[in-house]
Amino acid sequence: MKKWQCVVCGLIYDEAEGWPEDGIEPGTKWEDVPEDWVCPDCGVGKEDFEMIEIG
Amino acid sequence: MSEQAPIVIVGTGLSGYSLVREFRKQDKDTPVVMVTADDGVSYSKPMLSTGFTKGKDADGLAQASTDAMEEQFGVQLRTFTTVTGIDPEAHELIIGDERLKYSKLVLAWGADVIRLTIAGDGQEHVFSINDLMDYRAFREALADGQKVAIMGAGLIGCEFANDLRNGDYEVDVIAPSEVVMPGLLPEPAANAVQQELENLGVRFHLGTVVDRIDRHNGGVRLTLANGESLEADVVLSAVGLHPRTGLAESAGVDVGKGIKVNRALETSAPDIYALGDCAEVDGHVLLYVLPLMACARALAKTLTGERTEVSYGTMPVMIKTPCCPTAVCPPPSGADGQWEVETEGTSVRALFRNSAGEVLGFAVTGRFAVEKQALSKEVPPIHN
């Protein structure tokens, strides 16, 4: 499980947690997150997220 | 390769760094020099109005040092370096007595805050926030204060009002408009945001302006045109931005409201490009994150030799007032149609429809704010 961070606002998508509010189940890998999913905080798209080291 | 002049990017804000991030994904070798008048620390400007809410000070909002950015992107950074001119013919950037050759020049130097001329001797208590260094100075000034007066009830004024309340400061907002965020939000949505900010304890003084700011008790006293007066420790001026165009104009580059560029981000001068808050892209001056990121991606490709036009999709704006979550996608100016508004307390869903029933814009607040993504898909993109 990896984490991805929005380069604009710092929001973290954690594959282990998914994003249930947008219907993305816990355990959903980043590549399986829909291409049109956008950062819930600032609205940028998946291409503006970068992988970060697991803490 | 060493003969080749570098690509020079002026500005290390979100535009400059986003551009170089995208460019380096495709080209690891071409030399890039970045020039900035400030300290070059990487940060995300939209986050400056979330410091208290997220428990972060200026250091906490800094994302990476200049050393880290130089290493990550393989660029040479020149900080505290003020550009004084451009010589498009010679392909040279003028920095005082120095001339810096460029192969391509990118202007990503942002916008200036508008400073009002106001009478009184309390000017040293007036701050505006347009970058991380400004924010650091503001936070230092706040350290021994309790009360903040904000001039301006636009997006920035409202976001800071919310954030400062979350930091337990007393907040007064003074603005000439009768509603908050005029021109951005339709009135019912604006009223909802104002109501929730008032519920949070923000005091609004709308339909008036600040006439004087005078020193008083270690802070200032503000005298308003409507006769009211109020005290504050710090004044935050948030009355708008103006794209920086002066140096470009002096160099003979076409400017309008911003530095004029086409959809390939090309200015009227060869090998000079512009993006971000300083640019007027195909007639649009949009000082928001989504247009900027779209421009950075397109321009990165162009700089690698593959001329690419930016295509603006639907550009919703998220307004960071956590007390009343809000998103807006303003209809094109002059569009035919009308607002259709549904209101439940301070939850508002306002849809701007044309006579054919198509949604051309929207504003959603409160519990309707979650519909922003679904609605964005209904609104036609800016560029078809």
Tallying the residues shown for chain B, one arrives at 384
Dihedral-angle region of residue B362 (phi above 0 means left; psi in -120 to 50 means alpha; beta otherwise): beta
The closest alpha carbon to B41, from B17, B75, B72, belongs to B17
Candidate CATH numbers 3.30.390.120, 3.30.460.10, 3.40.50.300, 1.10.260.40; the one for domain B325-378: 3.30.390.120
What type of residue sits at position B322?
P
A26 part of a folded domain: yes
Enumerate residues 5 to 34 of chain A having a beta carbon within 8 A of any beta carbon in chain B: 7-10, 21-22
Q: What is the CATH number of the domain that holds A29?
A: 2.20.28.10
A6 part of a folded domain: yes
Q: What is the pLDDT of residues B224-268, one digit of tens each?
A: 999 999 999 999 999 999 999 999 999 999 999 999 999 999 999
Searching chain A, which residue's CA lies closest to the CA of residue B64? Answer: A7
**Two structure tokens written together for B101:** 């050759």
Candidate CATH numbers 3.40.50.300, 1.10.10.10, 3.50.50.60, 1.20.140.10; the one for domain B115-237: 3.50.50.60
Q: Name every chain B residue with its beta carbon within 8 A of the beta carbon of A10.
A: 44, 47, 63
CA distance B37 to B130: 13
- Tell which of A5, A6, A7 to mutate to test the B interface (max B CBs under 10 Å): A7
Residue B25: C-alpha distances to residues A12, A15, B29, B196, B247 (Å): 21, 24, 11, 43, 30
Spatial CB neighbours of B250, under 8 Å, sequence gap ≥ 6 = B85, B86
What type of residue sits at position B133?
M
Q: For residue B1, is pLDDT > 80?
A: no
A55 part of a folded domain: no
3-class state of residue A41 by DSSP: coil
3-class state of residue B225 by DSSP: coil
Predicted-assembly ipTM surpassing the 0.85 threshold: no
Q: For residue A30, is pLDDT > 50?
A: yes
- At B2, is the pLDDT very low, low, confident or very high (cuts 50, 70, 90)? very low
Give residue ranges of B with CB < 8 Å to any A CB: 14, 18, 21, 44, 46-47, 63, 289-290, 293, 297, 316-318, 327, 370, 372-373, 377
CA distance B261 to B168: 43
Domain that holds residue A35: 1-50
A9 part of a folded domain: yes
The count of domains in chain A is 1
Q: What is the pLDDT of residues B36-63, one digit of tens each?
A: 999 999 999 999 999 999 999 999 999 9
pLDDT, greater one: A28 or A9: A28
CA distance B159 to B317: 13
A17 part of a folded domain: yes
Q: pTM of the prediction?
A: 0.94
- Cβ proximity of B158 and B145 under 8 Å: no
3-class state of residue B373 by DSSP: helix
Verify whether the Cβ–Cβ distance B47 to A44 is below 8 Å: no
Q: What's the CATH architecture for B7-112+241-304? A: 3-Layer(bba) Sandwich (3.50)
